[in-house]
A and B are shown apart, each in its own frame.
Chain A
Amino acid sequence: MLTGSIGAPFAFLLAVLGIVVPLLLIASRAKSVQRLAIALILAASFAGCLVAVFGFRRQPGTVVDLSRATPFPFSFDVDRLSALFLLLVCSVAIPVTMFAAPYFDRHYSEQRRNWTWAFFSLFLLSMIVVVTASTGFAFLAGWELMTLVSAGLILIEGESAERRHNVFIYLLMMHAGAAAVAACFFLFLPFSHSLDFGAIRAAGAIVPPGIRTAVFLLAFVGFGAKAGIIPLHLWLPRAHPIAPSPVSALMSGVMLKTAVYGFVRFSFDFLGGGPAWWGYVVLLAGAVSGLLGVLYAIGEHDLKRLLAYHSVENIGIIYLGLGTSLIFLACHAPLLAALALIAALLHTFNHALFKSLLFLGAGAISSATATVDLEDLGGLQSRMPVTGTAFLIACCSIVGLPLFNGFISEWLTFRSFLAGSALTNAKAQIVLPLMVGVLALIGGLAAACFVKAFGVAFLGRPRSTEAEHAVEVPLPMRSGMALLAAACLFIGILPGLFLRPLASLVQGLIPGAGVPEETLSIARIMPWIAVIVLGTGAFAALFKRRKRMARTWACGLPGLSTRMQYTSTVFSKPIRFVFARIYRPDRTVERLPVDQPYFPASISYRSVRTTSYERALYRPFVDLIVSLAHRLRRLQTGNIQVYLLYIFLALVSLLAFLRFQR
């Protein structure tokens, strides 16, 4: 059943997360049992990290086969790609669990807390199953469990009608996506005769081009729905903000990455790349998601919604890298394809780190002030210094500033765009370098957005009494955030330790690829940049030893009130003004009484950003389905004879079909 020395810890991990922890929590509500469960989750995650690291070194790696216990082939295999994503899931799970322990204690009653932890453990398990499965059945089982358990975690938080509606949309889109993913697997079946990944990989070469294209498009849509590329992102800004913050951290930081994993598995591992237009489709999806994602994020003042839209943006950046890699692959440039794929995978990992940190930060804010509306925050940096510093590091990382991890992956993406100019293909030669401009615009807008998010929430003066009386969160929450922040800085300053294994991973996916020169040069330069910037900064700090408190200049008035500060909405106004075409807000101004426009007794102003996707894309589709359903309703007469007739007709047609088929 188990092969390889790492099989045992991997089986331990599956058993603990899947069986022991949920059973323990259901069996007893004692506080000590809950502590034990948390400790077990931490231990399992740590074991997962070890399995990932050792499994990466020892290839071909661990296989755990459970087929005897299940009706379908059900086995796990930690190859290099799986190891990377296993490391991603488990290394994010540790700090999130540390954070969640006091967070759930504060927010939930005892009974709910037990359910939450049980679901939390199953959620981790489902993601681990997805990224390590080596049969289609195991993959789909994990995929389905992941959707259901995360929906359950959202519903534990509350059950208002709006929440249920959002969860409904989430489930609907996830299942549409899951159907597409399942179809991908089944399309291989006539050629591979089994859903084992090895067989599918072997069949990848003999599948006819038409089926290949169908598989690619289905994978693109199916995984795209999970990843939240525009216009399939509809569920994302609805579902992520309403989940409890540690769960949002896992959903945004880790769950979206399983979609990236699936897409890479299909398009690179199984299909081995395809025609160039695949790459352009992915590139276009990435550019649109990146730009629109960041623009929508700027318009938000609910911190968690803002972060959710930034997930759309970052998935866009990852898809930009994946698309570039597919284009290079189609142009027979394996080295450059490797560079772009390394960029995409590293950004996937980086995004998992900083996005989960950002959501934990939002959770810390909401647990200290009971709100995540930026307009009610302010001045939290001096009240919650550790949270603030960790959040600041995450902001710098997501913006892609040097010395932080986001920069490394964005830099690699930039360089792979630039390398596109070396191709002989005229279209790629123009399109890829121009994508530098798109990514630069995304980066610039993201910087603007996070100046706003951090500046309004943590700097200046508090805008509400809750923010004024905020106190720092307890130690486990702080240390969870500090761990993630340290990881962001570590990858940002010493990227070499991470890029070398990534290069060897990518060599396995792209035959004939060497180690791209760019990965070596960035690894060489970043420590020096860190030394120079920090050294010069330390030198500059020598001048600033004396300080004196003095009130902020108030233009000679007695003092400033907190309402004189820029708010989040005002801060983003210039950008929203420039990009007004994209937002298309619905504005209504009502002046009362109507006959006195210049001296109104009351004015009410309402501005709602139109959800143009819903109107243009989803509404006609939904209407079609509903009208079809109405028509089909005529079949349901409620008359038993009619139903007997249906059965009879079905039987006859089935028999006729069988007769004529032969």
Chain B
Amino acid sequence: MNITADILQVLALILGAPLVRGIIARMKAVLQRRRGASIWRPYAELFKLLRKEDLVPPTSSAVFRLAPIVLFGATACTAAFVPLVHASALLGSYGDFFLLVYLLALGRFFLSLGALDGGSAFGGMGASREALVSSLAEAPFLLGLVALAISASRADIAGIVAWTLGQNIFNISVVHILAFTSLAMVALAETGRMPVDNPATHLELTMIHEGMVLEYSGPSLALIEWASAIKLHVMLALLIALFCPWGMVSTWSGLGITLAVLLYCAKAAVLMILLSVIESAVAKLRMYLVPDFLGVASAVSALAVIFTMWVRR
């Protein structure tokens, strides 16, 4: 029964990912007093792209077509690490957060290579900027998670979640606040959101992720878009699972599950509102201010690790 629940969770994470994007886009539209598209539109887009043919530059190599596949495989695999409504995950007990972070890195590595293979200046520009952002984002990402792992004295994500579930919600420590701050900042950078990257831009001065995928079309583009939606959803679910897991069930009962799903949706909605407010209110940072942004995140996460010393006893 548990395995079934875990597999269902993974599918929900992967299949629900485009919906998260749609809802955020709609919320942003409402905040900006536009009518906005339907929240189901990302699905329609995926279907449209998947039915088309792949356009491949004649000068490119096999890596160009391989990159979206690896990106999708690696990103989808991270979905198996994060508990959603059931307080365990398919790979939650053996796979730890180092594996999760590095699977994301695997996808990103290949996407950057695919971008360079297109042979245009835009791909190189995107890949070069992504290299800067992601190389600086990795340290705060891991340090924030390390702080939580030390407090829980567990390294697997399911274990950290189980430990947090056993705590009182009012018992929140400074470690959690610091770790949340740094992880939220990293999540913005990792998923290519404001103020690090603008997901809506198509201007070469500003784009990072969009620059990398400029040469892609058809099913390749669909896989890339889907993978980045999964990444966004995984980061969202990770923040919820690590910092506010209360309401997750560990046994299988109809009422409990319904309640847990509803609670998850509510928590996700809060985060999505937060994200759309940030995206509407904040301007994109200048490229060379991004290292400062990530430097702050690194400092905060290092503080979180240091403070675990005093919180534990």
Footprint of B on A, CB under 8 Å?
379, 381-382, 385, 388, 392, 396, 399-403, 407, 411, 414-415, 418, 421-422, 426, 429-430, 433-434, 436-438, 440-441, 443-445, 447-448, 450-452, 454-456, 458-461, 521, 524-525, 528-529, 532-537, 540-541, 543-544, 546-554, 560, 562, 564-566, 570-575, 577-578
Taking a contact as CB atoms closer than 8 A, the residue among A433, A447, A552, A564 that contacts B150 in the complex is A433
With A444-B138, A551-B57 known as contacts, the answer to whether A411 contacts B119 (CB < 8 A) is: no
* A-B pairs with beta carbons under 8 Å apart, 26 shown: A381-B63, A385-B61, A401-B105, A401-B109, A407-B102, A415-B155, A422-B153, A430-B306, A443-B105, A444-B134, A444-B138, A448-B134, A460-B60, A528-B94, A543-B50, A544-B65, A546-B218, A548-B55, A549-B56, A549-B58, A552-B59, A552-B120, A553-B215, A574-B131, A574-B288, A578-B291
Taking a contact as CB atoms closer than 8 A, the residue among A382, A418, A553, A566 that contacts B116 in the complex is A566
Residues of A within 8 Å of B218, CB to CB, are 544, 546
Verify A396–B109 contact, CB threshold 8 A: yes
* Chain B nearest Cβ from A358, distance in angstroms: 16
* Further pairs besides A441-B135, A533-B73, A550-B56: 19, Cβ < 8 Å: A379-B61, A388-B61, A418-B155, A421-B150, A437-B301, A438-B139, A444-B105, A444-B135, A444-B139, A447-B134, A447-B135, A459-B119, A532-B76, A533-B103, A534-B73, A564-B120, A565-B116, A565-B124, A571-B128
CA distance A434 to B301 in the complex (A): 9
Interface 9-residue window, one of B35-43, B219-227, B244-252:
B219-227
* Chain A nearest Cβ from B108, distance in angstroms: 8
Verify A528–B91 contact, CB threshold 8 A: yes
CA distance A524 to B93 in the complex (A): 11
Taking a contact as CB atoms closer than 8 A, the residue among B153, B219, B301, B309 that contacts A544 in the complex is B219
Verify B59–A461 contact, CB threshold 8 A: yes
* Chain B nearest Cβ from A446, distance in angstroms: 8
Interface size of B in residues (CB-CB distance below 8 Å): 86
* Chain B nearest Cβ from A304, distance in angstroms: 21
Interface 9-residue window, one of B26-34, B141-149, B264-272:
B141-149
Verify A537–B73 contact, CB threshold 8 A: yes
B229 interface contact, C-beta 8 A: no
Residues of B within 8 Å of A401, CB to CB, are 102, 105-106, 109
CA distance A554 to B120 in the complex (A): 7
B308, closest chain A residue (CB): A421
Verify B98–A574 contact, CB threshold 8 A: no
A567, closest chain B residue (CB): B124
CA distance A541 to B120 in the complex (A): 24
* Chain B nearest Cβ from A51, distance in angstroms: 36
Residues of B within 8 Å of A575, CB to CB, are 131-132, 135
Verify A540–B72 contact, CB threshold 8 A: yes
Verify B58–A551 contact, CB threshold 8 A: yes
B117, closest chain A residue (CB): A459
Residues of A within 8 Å of B76, CB to CB, are 532, 536
Verify A536–B73 contact, CB threshold 8 A: yes
A448, closest chain B residue (CB): B131
Residues of B within 8 Å of A445, CB to CB, are 135
Nearest 3 CB-CB pairings of A with B? A566-B124, A444-B135, A537-B73
One digit per residue, 1 when the CB lies within 8 angstroms of any chain A CB and 0 when it does not, for chain B 301-313 equals: 1100110110000
* Chain B nearest Cβ from A612, distance in angstroms: 22
Residues of A within 8 Å of B113, CB to CB, are 392, 451, 454-455, 459
Verify A434–B302 contact, CB threshold 8 A: yes
With A421-B308, A537-B70 known as contacts, the answer to whether A437 contacts B59 (CB < 8 A) is: no
B75, closest chain A residue (CB): A536
CA distance A452 to B223 in the complex (A): 24
Verify B301–A532 contact, CB threshold 8 A: no
* Chain A nearest Cβ from B305, distance in angstroms: 5
